[in-house]
Amino acid sequence: MGAAAGATIAAATAAIAEASKASGVIVRVNPNDFLAILGRQAEPLVVHATGGILSTNYQYLTSYNGLAFFTQSSNPIEFSASAELVHAEKIWIPG
């Protein structure tokens, strides 16, 4: 491996480490657990987006007690009327 390739790998590794630090703790849960977490909040805020390469998936992110919770599903999730939904063009979760 040449010096340029080594520098590129080092830069990519540093960028991933910084992204992880910036994003804080993100807890991946299954859709049922995500809905249970939302049920503990009077007016939950949910950020949602669609993603996928070969098939569409639905991605959701919320915050509870200082942690960010993320889930994705092959089908859209229905939320209670008290949930505030915010559409994002993309949700990027490291790792």
Residue 54: exposure state from Cβ atoms within 10 A (0-12, 13-18, ≥19): exposed
Domain spanning 25-95: CATH 3.30.720.90 = yes
| pLDDT surpassing 90 at residue 24 | no
The confidence band for 70, taking pLDDT boundaries of 50, 70 and 90, is very high
Q: What's the whole-number mean pLDDT along residues 4-15?
A: 58
- Could you give the CA distance from residue 66 to residue 55 in angstroms, rounded to a whole number? 32
The confidence band for 23, taking pLDDT boundaries of 50, 70 and 90, is low
Residue 54: what are its φ and ψ, rounded to 5°? -90, -25
Hey, where are the domains in the chain? Answer: 25-95
Its pTM stands at 0.75
Residue 72: exposure state from Cβ atoms within 10 A (0-12, 13-18, ≥19): buried
Contact indicator for 72, 60 with CB cutoff of 8 Å: yes
Q: Which residue has the higher pLDDT, 86 or 15?
A: 86
